[in-house]
């Protein structure tokens, strides 16, 4: 008595065009389906030439295989009938002769932390890996490519309407904080699990590339949390350690943006000694007066304005210039600004 077992195999190619058409034709001769889109309910293997690609990351999150084109070559070889028996190895022993997908993991490339192929084994524990996270993208193409796998992992993905060269740091910072506020968080990472809201870095094209680098550095400083590069997702998925995706400024990051901090509080006040970058030589008295800032001194006998450090940043939240307070002062605030925002 023979028993028939249905073993569905649907491959999704990371790519399109002529390569897709060619591989699809080769696989159809073996009754194996290949599609160009990743379909969560159907895709069993993603075929890619490298590891850190969007569809490959989606495969890992959904406990599917990520393989190179060599896997297809191996299947074809196992399907060739022997001249002596007239049958192929797959016909004689399908389960025993079907190529092991783990032997065909794409080679390591330019990812920050190359990992052994064993970590690419499908793992159902990754299905909810990003639960509790909200990732904010400021680039439409990034959002289109990366949001599917983070949402498959339980996260939310939000696209911010970024206008390179026009959007201010303050506008993006305020948006990020508003997202955290809607999640009921007092801070970007106010979560028992160490999760929260994370900004994904972007690069503007052409002459605006340097601008975008400086821009994101200022945003990180204002939020006191490092944004992440898109190539950091792979290692978090493989190691199942997402804590590395939401971290404060440390080491080189903190040194690079030393002194660039943007504190906020429920009362709309700035805490002592915290500064933005891009200092001006403008007299602190005129700066404070011109922009309506009120300074409260912890020592009434001392002058106030002279001890106030003025910092110009055209992209600061709700005002082109802010004042920050040195250690001898309690607060420097503009009561009508920043209402409803929370300390982070």
* pLDDT tens readout for residues 191-215: 455 578 999 999 888 888 899 999 9
Cβ neighbors of 34 (< 8 A, separation 6 or more) are 10, 11, 12, 13, 20, 23, 24, 27, 28, 47
Which of 6-20, 257-271, 316-330 is predicted most confidently? Answer: 6-20
Question: When comparing pLDDT for 288 and 222, which is higher?
Answer: 222
**89-105: per-residue pLDDT in tens?**
998 998 899 999 999 99
**Residue ranges of E strands in 69-218:** 134-137, 156-159, 197-200
**In contact, 118 and 101? CB cutoff 8 Å:** no
Nearest to 257 by CA among 302, 297, 227, 301: 227
- Sheet with 33-35: list strands edge to edge: 33-35, 10-13, 45-47, 65-67
What mean pLDDT is reported for the chain? 76
Residue 264, helix vs strand vs coil: coil
0.85 surpassed by pTM: no
Residue with tokens 């404060």: 248
Residue 227 near residue 219, CB atoms below 8 Å = yes
The DSSP output letter for 231 is G
Tokens at residue 41, please? 């309910």
Displacement of CA 10 from its chain's centroid (Å)? 28
Whether the pLDDT of residue 266 is over 50: the answer is no
E-strand spans in the chain?
A: 10-13, 33-35, 45-47, 65-67, 134-137, 156-159, 197-200, 269-270, 294-297, 308-312, 321-325, 329-333
How is residue 78 written in tokens? 């196992």
Choose the weakest-confidence range: 6-20, 230-244, 297-311. 297-311
Positive or negative: CA dihedral 33, 37, 39, 44: positive
Q: Which domains does the chain have, with CATH numbers?
A: 10-120 (3.40.50.10190), 124-256 (3.40.50.10980), 269-333 (no CATH)
Nearest to 222 by CA among 199, 251, 244: 199
The CA R_g of the chain, rounded to the nearest whole Å, is: 27
Mean pLDDT over 225-232 rounds to 94
Distance CA 151, CA 175 (A): 20
Backbone φ and ψ of 247, nearest 5°: -135, 150
Q: Which residue has the higher pLDDT, 279 or 58?
A: 58
Element spanning 288, H or E: helix 284-290
CB 332 within 8 A of CB 295: yes
Query: In this structure, how many other beta carbons lie within 10 angstroms of the beta carbon of residue 343?
Result: 12
Beta-strand pair 134-137/156-159: parallel
Helix or strand or coil: residue 323?
A: strand
Q: What percent of the chain has pLDDT over 70?
A: 68
pLDDT in tens, 289-322: 433 443 333 333 333 333 333 333 322 333 333 3
pLDDT at residue 85, as a whole number: 85
Mean pLDDT on 11-36: 92
> Higher-confidence residue: 280 or 214?
214
User: Between the CA of residue 271 and those of 259, 282, 296, 332, what are the distances in Å?
Assistant: 13, 22, 12, 8
Tell me how far apart the alpha carbons of residues 284 and 292 are, in angstroms, rounded to a whole number: 12
CA distance 312 to 139: 27
Alpha-helical regions (H) of 122-244:
140-152, 169-182, 209-223, 233-239
């Amino acid at each position: 008595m023979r028993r028939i077992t249905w073993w569905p195999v649907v491959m999704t190619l990371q790519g399109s065009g002529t390569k897709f058409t060619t591989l699809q034709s080769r696989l159809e001769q073996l009754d194996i389906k290949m599609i160009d889109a990743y379909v969560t309910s159907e895709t069993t293997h993603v075929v890619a030439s490298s590891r850190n690609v969007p569809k490959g990351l989606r495969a890992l999150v959904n406990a599917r295989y990520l393989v190179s084109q060599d896997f297809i070559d191996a299947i074809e070889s196992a399907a060739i009938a022997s001249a002596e028996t007239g049958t192929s190895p797959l016909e004689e022993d399908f389960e025993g002769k079907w190529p092991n997908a783990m032997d065909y993991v794409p080679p390591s490339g330019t990812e920050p932390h190359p990992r052994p192929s064993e970590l690419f084994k499908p793992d159902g524990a990754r299905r909810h890996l990003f639960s509790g996270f909200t990732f904010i993208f400021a680039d439409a193409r990034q959002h289109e490519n990366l949001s599917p796998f983070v949402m498959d992992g339980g996260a939310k993905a939000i696209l911010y309407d970024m206008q390179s060269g026009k959007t201010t740091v303050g506008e993006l910072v305020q948006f990020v904080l508003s997202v955290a506020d809607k999640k009921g968080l007092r801070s970007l990472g106010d979560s028992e699990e160490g999760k929260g809201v994370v900004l994904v870095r972007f690069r503007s094209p052409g002459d605006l590339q340097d601008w975008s680098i400086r821009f994101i550095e200022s945003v990180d400083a204002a939020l006191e949390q490092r944004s992440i590069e898109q190539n950091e997702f792979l290692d978090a998925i493989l190691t199942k350690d997402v804590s590395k995706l939401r971290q404060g400024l440390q080491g080189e990051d903190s040194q690079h943006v030393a002194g660039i901090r943007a504190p906020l509080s429920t009362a709309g006040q700035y805490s002592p000694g915290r500064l933005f970058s891009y200092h001006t030589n403008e007299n602190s008295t005129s700066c404070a007066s011109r922009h309506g800032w009120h300074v409260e001194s912890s020592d009434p006998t001392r002058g106030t304005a002279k001890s106030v450090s003025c910092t110009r940043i055209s992209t600061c939240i709700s005002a082109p210039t802010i004042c920050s307070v040195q250690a001898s002062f309690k607060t420097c605030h503009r009561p009508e600004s920043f209402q409803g925002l929370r300390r982070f």
